[in-house]
Amino acid sequence: MAARVAWLRASIVLAVVVAVDQGVKLWVTAALERGERRDLVPLVDLVNGRNTGVAFGLLQDSAWLVGIAVGLAVAALLVFFARNAHRPALWLPVGMLLGGAVGNLVDRVREGAVIDFLKLPAWPAFNVADAAITVGVVVLFVVVELNARAEQRAGDDGAPGPA
Q: Which residues are catalytic?
A: 116, 130
Q: Do 78 and 14 meet the contact criterion of CB atoms below 8 Å apart?
A: no
Amino acid at 138: V
Question: In terms of DSSP bridges, do strands 114-119 and 37-41 run parallel, antiparallel, or are they unpaired?
Answer: unpaired
Under DSSP, the state recorded for 126 is B
* Nearest residue to 50 via CA among 101, 125, 116, 128: 116
What are the CA-CA distances from residue 70 to residues 6, 74, 152 (Å)? 23, 6, 33
